[in-house]
């Protein structure tokens, strides 16, 4: 029985995750920071009303702007932490940052604020 250890060859390089190519980041930290700033601007310009939601603990006022701002700030902190990590751990965190940014960007483009909560 053959075992696949997930080793990429030159031929497989097109199948690598779009966030990195052969171990090097395609997106620089500055590009990610620009995406975060763009999200900040988009969230600041949202004109959504807060609404009352019921949680286990009781009623809670849900604000889409505040919720998305918290998520973007969490991504910003993940980026700050990743800058101090070794390469393999940094790649994992950068991959998570990219995924989180794409989810929020996609939700904002589709006006689906509830889908990222």
pLDDT tens digits for range 27-76? 578 888 999 999 999 888 887 788 888 989 999 888 888 889 999 999 99
pLDDT of 17 > 50? The answer is: no
What is the total residue count of the chain? 117
Residue % of the chain over a pLDDT of 90: 32
pLDDT of 113 > 60? The answer is: no
In angstroms, the CA 74 to CA 117 distance is 13
pLDDT of 109 > 70? The answer is: yes
Average pLDDT over residues 98-110: 90
The larger pLDDT score, comparing residue 19 to residue 28, is at 28
Global pTM reads 0.65
Q: Is the dihedral of CA 10, 31, 81, 36 positive or negative?
A: negative
pLDDT at 23 (0 to 100) = 42
Segments in the chain forming alpha helices (H): 29-44, 64-82, 87-109
Which residues fall within 8 angstroms of residue 109, CB to CB, at 6 or more apart?
A: none
Give strand pairing partners of 20.
25
């Amino acid at each position: 029985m053959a075992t696949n250890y997930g080793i990429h060859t030159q031929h497989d390089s097109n199948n690598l995750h779009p966030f990195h190519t052969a171990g090097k980041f395609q997106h620089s930290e500055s590009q990610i920071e620009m995406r975060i700033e763009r999200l900040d601007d988009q969230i600041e310009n949202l004109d959504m009303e807060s609404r009352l939601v019921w949680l286990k603990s009781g009623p809670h006022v849900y604000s889409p702007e505040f919720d998305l701002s918290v998520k973007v700030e969490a991504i910003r902190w993940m980026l700050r932490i990743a800058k101090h990590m070794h390469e393999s751990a940094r790649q994992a965190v950068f991959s998570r940052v990219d995924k989180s940014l794409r989810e929020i960007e996609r939700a904002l483009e589709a006006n689906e604020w509830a889908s990222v909560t």
